Structures are given as C-alpha cells and as structure tokens.
Chain A
Amino acid sequence: MTSEVGPTGPKENRRDFLKYFLGGGVVAWLGAVLYPILAFLIPPKQGEVEVTSVKAGKLGEIEKESGTIVRFGNKPVILIRNSSGECVAFSATCTHLDCTVQYRKDLGVIWCACHNGRYDLKGQNISGPPPRPLDEYRVIIQGEDVLISKKV
C-alpha cells in the first residue's frame, strides 16, 4: 500500500510522527520529574505575625548615649538614646550587605563592623559602602515605657 512509497512518502511521515511523539514524550517525562524537584527547592512563604509595635523597656533603664538592639518581630531594630536624652530607633539591618549595626559611643555614629559603614544618629549614611539611610522607626514614650512602632 502507500506506506511503502519513496523518501518523502507516508513512511517518512510516520517516522517523523514517531520521532516527535517519542521526543515529546521524553521532554514531558523530564518535565514531570524535574518540576516537582525544582518546586521543592523553593522555600514556602512562612506566615509571619505582623508586628506593629514592641515595648523596648523602661526609660529610666536606658542610659544616655547608648544603643540597644530590640527584637521587632523577626527583625532587629536599634534603639538609641542620645546625649540630650532623646530616643530614636532605626532598622538595625545595614543597607549595604545585611549585617547588624551597632552604636559607637566613641565615634558618636551608628557603625557596621562588616565593611566599616557609618550612619549618623538620624540614620543617614555618612561614610563607607552603605547605599541608603537606615529605615526609621517611631519611638513613643508612654509614661515610663518606651515603645517602638513602624512609621506610617
């Protein structure tokens, strides 16, 4: 019958069909195996409790010219009390490469030990590699309590 016709005839067509059918099958099979593996590698989003404010301590217990790291949800926040007794708070995560900053009383700056980045006490990046200022938080004094909350 027609199946035995020359090189461009139905025999070739049938061979092409089989080639694509089997080739496609292999690709689909690979996809079916690899997709779950790749999807498995992506960590699922963890449901985080949205924190809007935290209690950082009692005003009387925070010394002047000091800085402390406060846990804000799962992020570190630095609370600084300057020489005039005023409290300010910033994200303690350096905007350069994610290290945690500290208050340097001797230099009067917020300092990152990883790459010598410096911010002034208003959170502005003043020297070193940090590309932008630290995110600012709001400090509320309620009686004796010092509260830190997100800026809106």
Chain B
Amino acid sequence: MKPVWKRLYDWVDERVELGGLVEFLGKKYVPVHRHSIWYYFGGVSLFLFIIQVTTGILLLLYYKSGEELAFESVQFITSKVQFGWLIRSVHSWAANLFILAAFIHMFSVYFTRAYRKPREITWITGMLMFFLGLFFGFSGYLLPWNELAFFATKVGTDIAGAIPIIGKPVMIFLRGGEDVTGATLSRMFGFHIAILPGIFSVCLGIHLLLVQRQGMSEPEESGKDMKTMPFFPNFLLRDLLLWLLVMNVLAILAVIFPWELGHKADAFASAPAGIKPEWYFLFMFQMLKYIPAKILSIDGEVLGILVFSAAGLLWTLVPFWDRETKRGTRGRFLTYVGIAAVVCIISLTIVGWLS
C-alpha cells in the first residue's frame, strides 16, 4: 500500500499531469557567483508582500473606514483586539521593509544589468510594482486617519495637483473632492485594498512567470562554465531560511518598536511641528526644499515634479536606451548614473531625517 501523500500526488497527477512541472523544477539551476547574494532580494520582497496580504486581510476584519470611525477602529484594534497591536505593527513594519527590499532588489538588478534583453518585460513589471508599492504606502498611511497622515495626504495630493494641465483633475480624483475629507479616506481605502492589490497581482504574476521561464540572469563577465546550484531544493531552502530570518527581524521590530497611532486628524488644527513624510519619500521632500520657489517664472515645485517624473520614466525605460546592450559590455556610464542615484537618495534621506 502506497503512503497517503503518494496516493494523493498520483490522484492529482493522473488528472493534471504534474510530470512536466516536476521535471522543470528538477532541471532548474541557479548560477553561483560573487553577485549571487542579490538573487535573494526579489524573494524577500515577495515574502514581505505575502505578509502584507495576510496581515492586511486580518486588519480588514476590524478596520472601519470613515472620518468618525477609522481612527477609533485602529485604536480598537491596537488596544482591545487580542494581538491587534502586533498585527498592525507587523503590517506597518513589513510595509517599510518591503519598500526597502524592493529598493535593494531594483538597484541590484540595475547594477548587474539583469534588465537587458530578453528581460525587459520583467524589469518593467518590476518597476510598475515598485511604483504601486509607493502608492500602497501613501494610501495605507492615511487609513488610521491621524494628524500626520492627514497633512501628509494634503501635501502629497497637492503636489500631484501641481502637475501642469492634468494636475487639478488628478488631485480631485485622488481626494474625491476639493479637500482632503472623509471622501479621500474612502478613496484611499478603495485603492489600498482593492485596486492596487488587483493591479499588483497581475504584474507579480507576469514577473514571476518570466523569472521562471527565462531563468536567472547571469553576470556578463561569467564564462560558459559557471558554477550552478539546483533550484530545488538547494536554492529554495536558502530562500526559506532567509525568509525565516526576515520574519524574525520583523517580529523584533514590531514588538520592540510598536507603530505609533498618534492623534486623530482634525481639519481645523494646525500642522504639528516636526511633521515629515515616510522615509521613502524623504529624499524627494528634501530635494523639493532645495529648489527655489520660482525658477524662470516656473514654480519650483512644478519643476521638481517634472524632473522627478522624467527621472522615474528614464529609469523605468532603461532597457531601451542602454546603448551598451548591443555591444554586450558592462557599460560605465550607467554604473555612474546608478551610483549617483544611490548616493543622492541616501544622502538626501539622511539630511531629511536629521533636519
């Protein structure tokens, strides 16, 4: 008599032919070289995303949207619901770690030129998920309806409103009206729990499918006889071990530094002193501070937004203008651009943090 799990496998196999999939997994190899470490950050981002979906669904069981309910319901979650404080804290911390992991993943792909043909679509879907991740952060930030979030949303949507021509309609669309009100909260809630997860899942599906189909990108300097490691089980077990470590770090952060709730938003209170955006928006915030109010009769803000949008677009489209792709060389210029971007982001974030 075969064991139960074997019989179950056979039952499924008879119907959907798992053979091909198992063979594919058995033949999948991951290149081993000195940059292999960067392969893990996509997996870490994925793991944190899974945590976000899980904790997000849990929070949804108690969270209430609405000007008069949102803050109180989060207060209820953190003070009355068993382990509510933990779930909320994990959700907030994992959000931040997700953005961090995505940043690292993105830059490592950029510097190793893994976006080059045939992986352009993987890069584009990755960048889309990165921007969606930022929007996830922005929309989720408002949901507790506290003072900091209220003003952050006012500023953030007002910046969107400064875009020439389309700005005003975009701002009204985001706010659900002229001002940040309960209508904005409803919209952000809708974005955060339905629209963004929907679009994100489609991108993620394509992204993961392509990674499986095309295999891992190898660094250019590697020769034909590169060392490899079987994906299953060697690489997968390493992946899982790292996920476990990340989960421990997350648990430590969430327990030792529980996420603050702050004061309830009040449309008729002044913005509190020391107000700052989340760290991943800090470099843009700091940059805007350095731009004068007017440059050649153009609003400094408008110019800043246009520059950031253009930079973001160029970055997203890098597989298509990376001229060195054809020659197959490593390309110094793009490395310098990447280093400049990293230095710029880190230093502005630190200055913004300290000021």
Contact = CB atoms under 8 A, between A and B. Distances in A.
Given A41-B173, A42-B173, A99 B271 contact: yes
- Which one of B172, B176, B183, B268 has the highest number of Cβ atoms from chain A below 10 Å of its Cβ? B268
Contact of A92 (B151, B159, B172, B270): B270
Contacts of B159: 97
Contact of A131 (B155, B271, B293): B293
A9 B158 CA distance: 60
B272 interface: yes
A99 B148 CA distance: 11
A69 B269 contact: yes
B120 interface: no
Interface string A68-110: 0111001010000000000000001010111111100000000
B271 A76 contact: no
Interface stretch (A29-37, A55-63, A111-119, A136-144): A111-119
A133 interface: no
B84 interface: no
Interface in B251-273: 267-273
A69 B268 contact: yes
A112 B271 contact: yes
A76 B275 contact: no
Interface residues of B, number: 30
Contacts of A114: 151, 155, 271, 275
A98 B270 contact: no
Nearest to B162: A97
Nearest to B272: A113
Contact of B274 (A43, A94, A100, A113): A113
B289 interface: yes
A129 B151 contact: no
B214 to A, nearest CB: 33
Nearest to B153: A98
A99 B147 CA distance: 11
A130 B293 contact: yes
A46 interface: yes
B110 to A, nearest CB: 31
Contacts of B175: 43
A79 to B, nearest CB: 12
A129 B172 contact: no
B301 A97 contact: yes
Contacts of A101: 270-271
A100 B183 CA distance: 19
Given A43-B172, A97-B159, A114-B151, A102 B270 contact: yes
A129 B293 CA distance: 5
B35 interface: no
B28 interface: no
Q: Which 7 A-B pairs give the minimum distances between C-beta atoms?
A: A102-B270, A98-B158, A113-B271, A99-B271, A97-B158, A97-B155, A98-B154
25 contacts: A43-B183, A69-B269, A70-B268, A71-B268, A74-B179, A74-B267, A76-B268, A97-B154, A97-B159, A98-B155, A98-B158, A99-B154, A99-B155, A99-B271, A99-B275, A100-B268, A100-B270, A112-B271, A113-B274, A114-B155, A115-B289, A129-B293, A130-B293, A131-B294, A131-B299
